[in-house]
Structure 1
Amino acid sequence: MVSKPLKIAVLGFWHVHAKDYARQTQQHPGTELVAVWDDDLALGQAGADEFGVPFTDDLEALLGRADVDGVIITTATSAHREVMVRAANAGKHIFTEKLLAPTVTEAAEIIAAADDNGVKLVVSLPRLAHGYTHAIRDVIGSGDLGQLTYGRIRLSHDGAVSRGGADGWLPQRFFDQKTAIGGALTDLGCHPVYLLQLFLGADPETVNATYRSVAGRGLEDNAVVTVGYRDQKIGVIEAGFASRNPFTIEIFGTDGSLTYTETGNVLRVSGPAFGGDDLQLPVPDHGKGPFAQWVDHINQDTRADDNLARALELTRMVVAANQAAEQGRTTSYAGSESHLPTR
Structure 2
Amino acid sequence: MLRVAMLSGWHVHARGYANQLKNMPDVEITAVWDEDSQRGKSWADELGADFEPELDALLQRDDVDGVVVTAPTNMHRDIMVAAAGAGKHIFTEKVMALTVQESNDIAEAVKKSDVKFCICFPHRIEPANLFAKTAIDNGLLGDVTLLRVRNAHDGASANWLPEYFYDPIQCGGGAMMDLGAHPMYLCRWLLGEPKCISAMFNSFTAKPVEDNAVAVIEFKNKALAVAETGFVSSHSPFSLEVYGTAGSLLIGGVDGKVHLHSDMTSVDMKGWLVPDNLPERLPHPIEQWVNGILHGAPIYFGIEEGIQLTELMQAAYISYKEGRKVEFPII
Task: Give TM class, smaller chain.
Answer: over 0.9
Aligned to 2:272, the other structure's residue is in SS state: strand
CA distance in 1, matches of 2:300, 2:280: 23
CA distance in 2, matches of 1:30, 1:271: 45
Which amino acid counterpart does residue 194 of structure 1 have in structure 2? Y
Going from structure 1 to structure 2, the CA distance change for 1:231 and 1:6 (only over 3 Å counts) comes to closer
Equivalent in the alignment of 2:262: 271
CA contact (8 A) 1:100 1:312 kept: yes
Equivalent in the alignment of 1:281: 275
Which amino acid counterpart does residue 195 of structure 2 have in structure 1? E
Equivalent in the alignment of 1:253: 244
CA contact (8 A) 1:84 1:94 kept: yes
Which amino acid counterpart does residue 214 of structure 2 have in structure 1? V
Q: Confirm whether residue 170 of structure 1 aligns to residue 161 of structure 2.
A: yes
How far off its partner does 1:66 sit? Answer: 0.6
Q: How does 1:314-325 map to 2 (within 5 A)?
A: 314-325=309-320
CA contact (8 A) 2:144 2:223 kept: yes
Going from structure 1 to structure 2, the CA distance change for 1:303 and 1:118 (only over 3 Å counts) comes to farther
What stretches of structure 1 of length at least 5 have no aligned partner? 163-167, 338-343
Equivalent in the alignment of 2:208: 218
1:145 aligns with one of 113, 135, 141: 141
How far off its partner does 1:60 sit? Answer: 1.7
Which amino acid counterpart does residue 242 of structure 1 have in structure 2? V
1:229 aligns with one of 202, 219, 225: 219
2:86 aligns with one of 78, 87, 90: 90
Q: Confirm whether residue 99 of structure 1 aligns to residue 89 of structure 2.
A: no
Q: How does 1:8-47 map to 2 (within 5 A)?
A: 8-47=4-43
Percent of matched pairs sharing the same residue: 37
CA distance in 2, matches of 1:302, 1:102: 29
Aligned to 2:77, the other structure's residue is in SS state: helix
CA contact (8 A) 2:288 2:297 kept: no
CA contact (8 A) 1:188 1:239 kept: yes
How far off its partner does 1:308 sit? Answer: 1.9
Q: Confirm whether residue 160 of structure 1 aligns to residue 151 of structure 2.
A: no
Which amino acid counterpart does residue 124 of structure 2 have in structure 1? L
Which amino acid counterpart does residue 101 of structure 2 have in structure 1? T
Equivalent in the alignment of 1:58: 54
How far off its partner does 1:172 sit? Answer: 1.2
CA deviations on 1:184-238 (whole Å, 9 max, x unpaired) are 111111111111111111x222210000111112100110000113443111000
What stretches of structure 2 of length at least 5 have no aligned partner? none
Aligned to 1:15, the other structure's residue is in SS state: coil
How far off its partner does 1:297 sit? Answer: 1.8
For normalisation by structure 1, the TM-score amounts to: 0.90
Equivalent in the alignment of 1:77: 73
CA contact (8 A) 1:120 1:303 kept: no
Aligned to 2:154, the other structure's residue is in SS state: coil
Which amino acid counterpart does residue 284 of structure 2 have in structure 1? G
CA RMSD, Structure 1 to Structure 2 (Å):
1.8
